[in-house]
Amino acid sequence: MLDSRTVADIDAIVAGTHGDPFAVLGPHAEGARTMLRTFAPGASHVDVLDAGTDSVVASLARTNDAGFFMADLGERAPFAYRLRARFGTDVVTYADPYAFGPTLGELDLHLMGEGKHLRLWEKFGAHPRVHEGVAGVAFAVWAPNAKRASVVGDFNAWDGRRHPMRLHPGVGVWELFVPGIELGAIYSYELLAHDGTLLPLHADPYGFAAERLPGKASIVARPGGTTWTDDAYRERARARDGLRDEAMAIYEVHLGSWKRGEGNRYLTYREIADDLVPYAEHLGFTHVELMPIAEHPFDGSWGYQVVGMFAPTSRFGTPEDFAYLVDRAHAHGIGILLDWVPGHFPTDAYGLANFDGTHLYEHADPRQGFHPEWNTLIYNFDRNEVVNFLVANALFWLACYHVDGLRVDAVASMLYLDYSRKAGEWIPNRFGGRENLGAVAFLRATNEAVYGEHRGSLTIAEESTSWPQVSQPVYAGGLGFGYKWNMGWMHDTLEFMKTDPLYRTHALDALTFSFVYAFSENYVLPLSHDEVVHGKGSLLAKMPGDSWQRFANLRAYYGYMYAHPGKKLLFMGAEFAQEREWNHDRSLDWHLLDRSEHAGVQRLVGDLNRTYRGLRALHEYDTERAGIEWIAADKATTIVAFVRRGRDANDFVVAVTNFTPVVRYGYRLGVPAGGSYVEAINTDATIYGGSGVTNGAVEAEPFGSHDKPYSIMITIPPLTTLLLKREHSAS
């Protein structure tokens, strides 16, 4: 006869409401005897087998029609056993999950509770492993306010009563080792809220792979999973450490629309690797920035509403396939940057929203936790566990997939509590200000962790406000990023280029204003995806004039960009003058390269990258004022000229841009030193689609001009940037 407490425990297990299954299921000593209990819904018979001999030790008695079984094993010492259950005509033998001890150690739980576990992904999620001599998968999830947590999948008919998890109450972590599960198993977490509400199934926050939509479950996988061959590349990256004195030319790529396969299908990571990597190498780019990578529900997005922070999107293949792409890039000397989104996440019920029946990852108050511009939820940066989740995620991509850096999206939205909000729609910080102190601390912690754990890695902030010292070290009061996108430069120069050349003279001050603050941060000059969506048109479409002038304007603009201090970034398609606006559902218009004017722009971009990388004066002082020396901003002719200097005093390049369609013959330009000057780049060259107005070698004369001791007499082609290199000193 069962006592009332045992009956209540059995009823709770059967109902799926018991919060401590290990107190009921599995073997339990009761005095000198051992009781064994198991729940096998649908089973008609269950035997206990000796794991060594498979001999029957005992048959369990079925206590109710729901499938709860138990047996008195007598005065037996603990032994390894398996269960054999009959389901109709099927007989299944399996190890009992409730015979195994915890898979998480006290140190892991302690560090997680403090928010200081930098390798959380090694403990949370789903990990194939051998535990206590048996192969299976160890699951762990943080859900401190859940009444019950279960792992469900095909392996248990998606029945949350079959595999309820063990709770570590001090930190709210649930874990369970399930024997017999292998790589590729599909699973989700089923959570019972504290009030007894059964929540929608959740994908694993730490899942390493995910189903393609409409599937929403996670997949047991190993991150990385490739045989890496990039040791030499990574050692060189660690030695360079930061690229301040080196060229950085970034090719920004949306994987789903860079190139499509037959029938407009997505290419796989491996197909992309075999095509994209040699393409980027051929054009001289140093890095490729990939978007979208982390798993997200909406095909038509940049991937900025992430539901799987630890999962490379399955749209293009497996985690191993993504690792292949990174490894292949490194083999060709190309660094990989990821667009990383730690600021907000979507409201999809299978994601992080209302995860355990409470606002666990997000702020409860919508004035702090809801983003009105994007209809997303904002991470609670005031919670240690949430910050730990995000910091560990940053390190995960660097450690497991060898990526070279992170471009952090929407930093401004994280820094300001009133971002995109009206008065009364936000809550001031504890000092009454608008700064999000938790987010500031999180960003600093992330950057310290990235640069501390992965020497040679990069972090780049997409930040559009005047927040000070974004790219200065944390110890100096900064946010700790390596670089910041120069959004002001992008906005001002594009507005200038859209202006009819007839009126550009009046806008020249706006163009050159960027030199005032060019070294206030370590800048990347972006011509990014943001400028080719939502009715903005392509870069080519922004250029004024007839067809010839539009291409000439674009070429001159690119030349000016590569001369200007700052690292470089071009969104895909810009390198060959894509004509239409970006469309997520189709490939770039590669057929345009059959036209000479588009092929010419592509050739120019390649030559600009190689020239930028080859001439140290164009990159050594990218982040320091010593790298620029002004010559002229001639409003009468709309000509801008300056000197880019390297660390060697004799190493410099003279940059000249004519922003009008008028050829300037016999233009006397001041230069810093005597010698012979030749064109390293002339964006008007016929090979680029230009008119072919050019200069041969030009000797500097000892006639001062523009406050320089020497000068040269040159012809400046229409709508053109010239990069002039001094060949040798005058004899």
Q: Which strand (E) or helix (H) includes residue 232?
A: helix 231-240
Residue 530 lies in a domain: no
Residues 20 and 125 in one domain: no
Q: How does strand 652-658 pair with strand 720-728?
A: antiparallel
Residue 468 lies in a domain: no
Alpha carbon distance 313, 335 (integer Å):
20
By the 8 A CB rule, do 49 and 55 touch? yes
Residues 88 and 168 in one domain: no
Residue with tokens 């709309």: 638
Last residue of a domain, one of 99, 120, 151: 99
Alpha carbon distance 222, 209 (integer Å):
8
By the 8 A CB rule, do 525 and 479 touch? no
Give the number of other Cβ atoms within 10 Å of residue 236's Cβ.
13
Give the pLDDT of residue 421: 94
Residues 172 and 86 in one domain: no
Residues 75 and 133 in one domain: no
Give the pLDDT of residue 729: 56
Residues 14 and 93 in one domain: yes
Residue 444 lies in a domain: no
CATH number for the domain spanning 23: value is 2.60.40.10
Residue type, 654: V
Q: Is 462 a catalytic residue?
A: yes
Query: Which residues, 6+ apart, have CB-to-CB distance to 526 below 8 Å?
Result: 252, 485, 486, 487, 490, 569
For residue 43, give Cα distances in angstroms to 21, 80, 94, 632: 19, 22, 13, 87
Residue 277 lies in a domain: no
For residue 514, give Cα distances in angstroms to 131, 324, 723: 60, 40, 19
DSSP 603-646: HHHHHHHHHHHH-GGGTTTTTSGGGEEEEEEETTTTEEEEEEE-
DSSP 305-366: S-SEEEEE-GGG--HHHHHHHHHHHHHTT-EEEEEE--SEE---TTTTTTTTSS-SSB-SSH
Q: Where are the alpha helices (DSSP H) in 564-617?
A: 596-614
Supply 723's token pair: 């990069």
Give the residue from 360, 348, 347, 257 showing the smallest Cα distance to 300.
257
By the 8 A CB rule, do 307 and 292 touch? no
Reading across the β-sheet that carries 186-193, which strands appear in turn? Answer: 146-153, 186-193, 218-219
Number of separate domains in the chain: 3
Supply 214's token pair: 């409409």
Residue 190 lies in a domain: yes
Active-site residue identified among 47, 190, 462, 607: 462
Supply 405's token pair: 């850096």
Active-site residue identified among 175, 409, 622, 684: 409
Last residue of a domain, one of 80, 99, 118: 99
Residues 634 and 686 in one domain: yes
pTM: 0.96
By the 8 A CB rule, do 395 and 449 touch? yes
Residues 110 and 165 in one domain: yes
Residue 26 lies in a domain: yes
SS (H, E, C) 392-460: HHHHHHHHHCCCCEEEECCHHHHHECCCCCCCCCCCCCCCCCCECHHHHHHHHHHHHHHHHHCCCCEEE
Give the number of other Cβ atoms within 10 Å of residue 715's Cβ.
16
Residues 92 and 148 in one domain: no
Residues 674 and 631 in one domain: yes
Last residue of a domain, one of 219, 238, 266: 219
CATH number for the domain spanning 633: value is 2.60.40.1180
Give the pLDDT of residue 76: 81
Give the pLDDT of residue 337: 98
Alpha carbon distance 393, 445 (integer Å):
12
By the 8 A CB rule, do 207 and 153 touch? no
Q: Is the dihedral of CA 376, 382, 385, 389 positive or negative?
A: positive
Residue 675 lies in a domain: yes
Give the pLDDT of residue 217: 98
Query: Which residues, 6+ apart, have CB-to-CB distance to 31 below 8 Å?
Result: none
Provide the CB-side half-sphere exposure for 533 (13 A, CA): 12
Residues 140 and 73 in one domain: no
Task: Give exposure, 326-364, as e/b (b: 16+ Cβ within 10 Å).
Answer: bbbbbeeebbbbbbbbbbbbbebebbbbbbbbebbbbbe
β-sheet bridge partners, residue 485:
524
Domain that holds residue 76: 4-99
Mean pLDDT per 10-residue segment, the chain (731 residues): 83 95 94 92 95 93 94 87 95 96 93 92 97 97 98 97 96 97 97 96 98 95 91 92 88 96 96 98 98 90 90 96 97 98 95 97 95 95 97 98 97 96 94 97 98 96 95 97 97 96 94 94 96 89 97 98 97 97 94 98 98 97 92 95 94 97 97 97 98 96 94 98 84 42
Question: Can you say whether residue 618 is alpha, beta or left, with left for phi > 0 and alpha for psi between -120 and 50 degrees?
Answer: alpha
By the 8 A CB rule, do 329 and 277 touch? yes
Residue 125 lies in a domain: yes
Q: Is 409 a catalytic residue?
A: yes
Alpha carbon distance 530, 611 (integer Å):
27
Give the residue from 252, 248, 249, 247 showing the smallest Cα distance to 539.
252
Alpha carbon distance 470, 467 (integer Å):
7
Task: Give exposure, 454-490, as e/b (b: 16+ Cβ within 10 Å).
Answer: bebbbbbbbbbeebebbbbbbeeebbbbbbbbbbebb
Give the pLDDT of residue 1: 60
By the 8 A CB rule, do 448 and 208 touch? no
